[in-house]
Amino acid sequence: MRKWRFAAGLLFVLLGILLFSGCGRQTAAPDKVYVGVACYNESDVFIGELIDCLKEELNGLSGDGMETMVTIRDAAGSQRTQNDQVKALIDEGSNVLCINLVDRADPSEIIDLARENDVPVIFFNREPVAEDMMQWEKLYYVGAKAKQSGVMQGELAAELIHSDRRVDRNRDGKIQYVVLEGEPGHQDSIIRTENAVDTLKNNGIELEKLSYGIANWNRAQAQNRMMQMIGQHSNEIELVLANNDDMALGAIDAYAKLNITESAFPVFFGIDGTDAGLRAVMDGKLAGTVYNDKEGQAAAMARLAVSLVSGSVPEDLEFENGRYIYLPYYKVTIANAEEFLDKAGK
Ligand code: BGC
Ligand code: CA
């Protein structure tokens, strides 16, 4: 009996020592979350809006004994510049990184730097290949699934074509279309195009592809490409599928610049639901878009960043394969565009 009492007492003392010693301190949340954000090009409209959301989300998590600080670096399209910026962000004290790679196939230097300094990385929007994500266990990804956005764009277009016979301008039973594509090599470009086209076909739409142009997500480049395509096919084009809103808006710019009357315009579809994209949907210029949930992505990144520093991952963050978070897309037409603009607080 006395032996038992002695053992129990000893256990108690040991527990006490554990609790009040280093072990206890290690699990306490550090109160400073220094987030280093590196983006591929802040002049990209969607990325600019996503970064604004991220700043807001992180600021919102400050308080309650927690301090969040954000430093943002813009690589303006150069991977080498981004590697230097990441090094500087770490040297300046970032304890978690959010990285929007310039070249999604070339993250090794950044991963090495992060691992050497034990700074966890959340990649976003430009998804590294799976092999690179396996290089270290503190690598995460937050984004959305390209396939879903392509399918939704195809469904929106199919719904319109079925309900409005005027889309088939020459009444030949087929839809003559062109595609404006984002950067080659970006996970969202080819997959969005393929799935939008397949979905149209699966919905019984007969298609005829007239042409395509690569416009690297960019409105001005899309305007140029579209002007060339209008030059080749003049009034034959009935549908423009753009991999993002900015390129869809660039296509509309081309028609306006050429002084083509609106009644002779094809129908345009984008993806993103940027502020300008949503306004164009509300004005009836863009037939539809697919909402790329920047608020949801920013919120997931901010919470994950804080938890990676404090060491406790919130239970309601849903991971795929342990380290990926994908936010869903939503279909947007003139019927609901305003709700999304409100969501963005505009
Ligand atoms: C967006 C584009 C953006 C690109 C940048 C895509 O997910 O839809 O608008 O330019 O990401 O990486
Ligand atoms: Ca036709």
One digit per residue, pLDDT tens: the chain, 346 residues? 455 555 555 444 444 444 444 443 344 555 799 999 999 999 999 999 999 999 999 999 988 788 999 999 999 999 999 999 999 999 999 999 999 999 999 999 999 999 999 999 999 999 999 999 999 999 999 999 999 999 999 999 999 999 999 999 999 999 999 999 999 999 999 999 999 999 999 999 999 999 999 999 999 999 999 999 999 998 999 999 999 999 999 999 999 999 999 999 999 999 999 999 999 999 999 999 999 999 999 999 999 999 999 887 777 789 999 999 999 999 999 999 999 998 877 7
Beta carbon of 177 within 6 Å of any ligand 1 atom? no
pLDDT number for residue 13: 47
pLDDT number for residue 4: 53
Burial of 13 (0-12, 13-18, 19+ CB in 10 A): exposed
Closest ligand 1 atom, residue 217 Cα: 10
Report the separation in Å between the CA atom of 242 and the middle of ligand 1, taken as the mean of its atom positions. Answer: 12
pLDDT number for residue 189: 95
Contact 305, 99 (CB under 8 A): no
pLDDT number for residue 323: 95
Q: Which ligand is nearest to the CA of 43?
A: 1
Beta carbon of 125 within 6 Å of any ligand 1 atom? yes
Closest ligand 1 atom, residue 272 Cα: 8
Q: Which ligand is nearest to the CA of 208?
A: 2
Q: Which ligand is nearest to the CA of 127?
A: 1
Report the separation in Å between the CA atom of 326 and the middle of ligand 1, taken as the mean of its atom positions. Answer: 15
Report the separation in Å between the CA atom of 158 and the middle of ligand 1, taken as the mean of its atom positions. Answer: 23
Q: Which of 46, 99, 126 to mutate to test the pocket of ligand 1 (most atoms within 8 A of CB)?
A: 46
Beta carbon of 274 within 6 Å of any ligand 1 atom? no
Q: Can you tell me the distance from the alpha carbon of 111 to that of 132, in angstroms, rounded to the nearest whole number?
A: 9
Report the separation in Å between the CA atom of 334 and the middle of ligand 2, taken as the mean of its atom positions. Answer: 24
Q: Which ligand is nearest to the CA of 327?
A: 1
Decide which of 3.40.630.10, 3.30.450.40, 3.40.50.2300, 3.40.50.1820 is the CATH code for 32-144+293-314.
3.40.50.2300
pLDDT number for residue 28: 54
CATH homologous superfamily for the domain 147-292:
Response regulator (3.40.50.2300)
Listed in order, the ranges of the chain carrying CATH 3.40.50.2300 are: 32-144+293-314, 147-292
Beta carbon of 244 within 6 Å of any ligand 1 atom? yes
Q: Can you tell me the distance from the alpha carbon of 68 to that of 231, in angstroms, rounded to the nearest whole number?
A: 52
Considering only CA atoms, which of 48, 85, 93, 45 is closest in space to residue 69? 93
Q: Can you tell me the distance from the alpha carbon of 318 to that of 97, in angstroms, rounded to the nearest whole number?
A: 20
pLDDT number for residue 106: 97
Q: Can you tell me the distance from the alpha carbon of 254 to that of 251, in angstroms, rounded to the nearest whole number?
A: 5
Q: Which ligand is nearest to the CA of 168?
A: 2
pLDDT number for residue 7: 53
Beta carbon of 217 within 6 Å of any ligand 1 atom? yes
Q: Which of 43, 99, 272 to mutate to test the pocket of ligand 1 (most atoms within 8 A of CB)?
A: 272
Report the separation in Å between the CA atom of 338 and the middle of ligand 1, taken as the mean of its atom positions. Answer: 22
Report the separation in Å between the CA atom of 248 and the middle of ligand 1, taken as the mean of its atom positions. Answer: 13
pLDDT number for residue 234: 85
Contact 246, 222 (CB under 8 A): yes
Report the separation in Å between the CA atom of 215 and the middle of ligand 1, taken as the mean of its atom positions. Answer: 12
Contact 84, 75 (CB under 8 A): no
pLDDT number for residue 31: 79
